[in-house]
Amino acid sequence: MKQLLDKLSPIMRPELTGNAESPEIDNTAYLPDARQPLVTGENDNTTITDKVCQIVEQKPTVGWWMFFLLSLSVLGLLGVFIPFLIFWGVGTWGVNNPAGWGYAIVNFVFWVGIGHAGTLISAILFLFRQKWRTSINRAAEAMTIFAVICAGMFPGIHVGRAWFAYWMFPIPNQMELWPNFRSPLLWDVFAVGTYFTVSLLFWYMGMIPDLATLRDRAKHSVRKVAYGLLSLGWTGSNRHWHVYERAYLLLAALATPLVLSVHSVVSFDFAVSQVAGWHTTIFPPYFVAGAIFSGFAMVMTLLVPARQLFGLKDVITLKHLENMNKIIMLTGMLVGYAYAQEFFIAWYGGVKVEKFAFINRAFGQYAWAYWIMVSCNVLSPQIFWFKKMRTNITVMFIVSIFVNIGMWFERFVITVTSLANDYTPSAWDYYSPKLADVTILIGAFGLFFTLFALFCRFLPFIAMTEVRGVMAEKARLKSPPPQQGASDSASEDSAAGS
């Protein structure tokens, strides 16, 4: 993996000014009396700005075009199969009685869950003053936005008559009907809608100063106008920073309960119903933990190649990756605990159908899916107990893929096993997807990666302002005489890891 990436790098990344060659510095060692630097190498405000802006300013590379066109062609599947679905109706999917919910809701829950890591990184870690978030929050928030776009697509197309999708919203209509506010599916509309809007505001607001940097560096008039409009005339005024920082803090404080509520509300879609295996009180926290788990895995999947190809190893260091791996391991164990707890309660609760539902999950007709889920989600992250493994690029990339797969199967197992074998054995069936299910699932990945490729190309990949702030703080803490601070701290930084 590492060799492969190294070999690919020359065609994949822009002609950066030498910093793309920066070696992997191990800054994960525990120091008893100091903190490891969050930005390694000899970097200051100037080099960080150059490094991040060059990704956007230089001509797209062959590698970028390859990635973009590949994603775009996979996205083309949606262009074919969504009209197909709308024309022929949801009968083109594998859903039927008794399994009336299939890939659409599985994908919806999967993608909403992916988004949660972005908000956790940008909001919750901000409130906890975790400075390491600054290097990864922009990309993670972008991932959130794109994942929620993918998620939002599914409720829109699964309603059967997609042209009536607006009935989900409380809009006055000729029938004088309103939506039913006692339904968790409607809570979902508000939860996901709010989540998307707030995430977008948070992402955009965080980006305004960085867009101003791009505006001030722009040479081409189209770029000047585009970034000029997007940056709203930002001058870095301290009177503005004062209000801005307060607004950012408040948005973080609002996004924190929001992100916890969103997957809780998503879990209500299941938990409020009477279906055995769904009607459990553990669902909200279990879904939230799973969401953060899967989201961090997706952040890892995106950032491991990106830091290499864009020459950002100094900014997204091994320590950042290790921290994320620790969170993946923790949330993976939370999810594993929830799996175990569900079984315990099914036995302890003494409800026959409930007991059956869980035994059927593990040993019934979908046992293969259940054990894929357990081995990917519970077993594979256990490798991160070993430091050597959680600082190994190849291992973490592979585990992140496993977790992505496992978390998709988690939603599949929850949705399908309980429906396919419900209360009436005579109605039991085996749900399997059809062509339109699979192509729309794959096409959603195309949409996600296309948007991500465009983001890499046109928007600042790293929150430059925040990284500058973190570096300034570090320099101030490190150097008793302020004059020598810059050079001293830089050399110490590069020496510290060896």
Partner 1 sequence: MSAKMTNSQGVETITAEGSSDPRPVLMLAEFETADLLMEAATGVRDQGFRLWDCHTPYPVHGLDQAMGIRPTLLPWLVFGGGATGFTGGLLMQAWMNAVDYPFLISGKPFWSIPASIPVAFELTILLSAFGAFGGMLLLNGLPRFYRPHFRSDRFRRATADRFFISIDGRDRQFDVQANSELLTGLGATAVEVIEE
Task: Give the interface with partner 1 as residue ranges (CB under 8 A).
Answer: 44-46, 49, 170, 176-184, 186-187, 190-191, 193-194, 197-198, 201-202, 205, 209, 212-213, 215-217, 228-229, 232-247, 250-251, 254-255, 257-258, 261, 265, 268, 464-466, 468-469, 472-473, 482
Question: CB 217 → partner 1: shortest distance, Å?
Answer: 7
What's the closest the beta carbon of residue 43 comes to partner 1, in angstroms?
A: 11
Q: In angstroms, what is the minimal distance from the CB of 466 to partner 1? A: 7
**CB closer to partner 1, 112 vs 405:** 112
For the bound state, the minimum distance from the C-beta of residue 410 to partner 1, rounded and expressed in Å, comes to 23
- What are the φ/ψ torsions at residue 13 (nearest 5 degrees)? -105, 160
In a 13 Å sphere around the CA of 285, the CA atoms on its Cβ side amount to 10
Q: Read out DSSP for 367-392? A: HHHHHHHHIIIIIGGGGGGSHHHHT-
Question: 187 or 358: whose CB is closer to partner 1?
Answer: 187
Closer Cβ to partner 1, 96 or 197, answer by number? 197
- What is the smallest separation between the CB atom of 184 and partner 1, expressed in angstroms? 8
Residue 357 contacts residue 346 (beta carbons within 8 Å): yes
Distance between CA atoms of 467 and 469, rounded to whole angstroms? Answer: 5
Q: Which is nearer to partner 1, 32 or 172 (CB)?
A: 172
In the complex with partner 1, which residue's Cβ is closer, 3 or 281? 281
The residue (of 401 and 486) whose beta carbon lies closer to partner 1 is 486
Least Cβ distance, residue 53 to partner 1 (angstroms): 8
**Whose Cβ is closer to partner 1: residue 187's or residue 431's?**
187
The rounded distance, in Å, linking the Cα atoms of 24 and 140 is 22
Q: How far apart are the C-alpha atoms of 244 and 323, rounded to whole Å?
A: 28
Q: Are 338 and 394 in contact (CB under 8 A)?
A: no
Residue 450 and residue 75 in contact, taking contact as beta carbons nearer than 8 Å:
yes
Residue 426 burial (C-beta neighbours within 10 Å; 0-12, 13-18, 19+): exposed
Smallest separation (angstroms) from partner 1 to the CB of 122: 13
CB 7 within 8 A of CB 308: no
